Structure 1
Amino acid sequence: MAISFDKAFGVHPHAMLIRSQRAEVLASNIANADTPGYKAKDIDFASALKAAKSGQMRGNSLTRTHADHLSASTQLSSSETKFRVPNQPDTGDGNDVDVQVERNLYTQNSIEYQASLSFMNSKISGLKKALGGQGA
């Protein structure tokens, strides 16, 4: 009987990839908080996850050398990265980054990434026990 990693891990591998890319976008917002004209961006997590689960991601992709191999790619399409509606009025330089909001979103994203990582670790541990014949 073959082990289906898609069934075993569920949505978590896709979620971790998107959360990783979202962390980069949020970090870029924080880094550009003082850049005149910079507009805060974010990733629409729901649509990005839907695209990832349906295999519509693009960018770096792995070469399939056998029909049974899974296809994979590592980048979101640009439609999932959007400009955020500003929470604060324009300060005169065109920059709409609110550093406190960005830090809070970054922290929340990090916690959600860690939750998926913990889930994946427990699933892998369970699979190793099952393959090794050890009792749970």
Structure 2
Amino acid sequence: MGLLNSVSFQRLQGGLDAATKRQSVLANNVANADTPNFKRSDVNFESYLQQQENGLKSTLNAKVTDSRHFQFGTGTIVPTATVSTDETTSMNNNDNNVDMDREQALSAENQLRYNSYVAQLNSQITMMRTVIEGR
């Protein structure tokens, strides 16, 4: 097992990937704010991660070190971010549903989330480095 293959690193990587994808989706929404019949999209990740963590709290996980071992409990697979389109709402007369104020607020929130993922990742790397170097 590598040092960077832990569940926490995988979840942070998934979070960084989701934040990157979300920034791209939000930029696309803003770019199409005046396009007739355009429907905004969003990225779902954190809700999937929360559902997975709620499910993991009540189950026992087994570490399998040999292919002949029985596997039980839930895995530690990190959910992947998915893009969903909101087809049900309309903001403008041209059937577009992009609200610039909301998109800017979501972009700021996404930037804060990305920064926190990077800070957590840096913290974990610093702890590992301290252990390895023995300082």
**Normalised by the size of structure 1, how large is the TM-score?**
0.67
- Who is 2:85 aligned against? 83
How far, CA to CA, are the matches of 1:91 and 1:3 in structure 2? Answer: 51
In angstroms, what is the RMSD of aligned CA positions? Answer: 2.6
- 1:8–1:123 contact (8 Å) kept in structure 2: no
Which residue identity lines up with residue 103 of structure 1 in the other structure?
Q
How far, CA to CA, are the matches of 1:12 and 1:56 in structure 2? Answer: 11
For structure 1, which runs of at least 5 residues remain unmatched after alignment?
A: 58-75
- Who is 2:61 aligned against? none
For structure 2, which runs of at least 5 residues remain unmatched after alignment?
A: 53-75
Instruction: Count residues in correspondence.
Output: 109
How far, CA to CA, are the matches of 1:7 and 1:110 in structure 2? Answer: 23
Correspondences of 1:117-128 after superposition (within 5 Å): 117-128=118-129
- Who is 1:54 aligned against? 77
Equivalent residue of 2:6, what SS?
A: helix
**Normalised by the size of structure 2, how large is the TM-score?**
0.68
| % identical aligned pairs | 25
Cα 1:36–1:106 change in 2 (3 A) is same
Cα 1:19–1:32 change in 2 (3 A) is same
- Who is 2:5 aligned against? 5
Correspondences of 1:1-136 after superposition (within 5 Å): 3=3, 5-7=5-7, 9=9, 11-45=11-45, 46-47=47-48, 54=77, 76=81, 80-84=82-86, 85-86=88-89, 89-134=90-135
Equivalent residue of 2:84, what SS?
A: strand
- 2:14–2:78 contact (8 Å) kept in structure 1: no
- 1:18–1:48 contact (8 Å) kept in structure 2: no
Cα 1:13–1:36 change in 2 (3 A) is same
Cα 1:81–1:2 change in 2 (3 A) is closer
How far, CA to CA, are the matches of 1:13 and 1:56 in structure 2? Answer: 11
Q: How far does the alpha carbon of each residue in 1:83-134 deviate from its partner, in whole angstroms, 9 at most, with x for none? A: 1353xx5422121100000110111011011001001011111111111111
Cα 1:91–1:132 change in 2 (3 A) is same
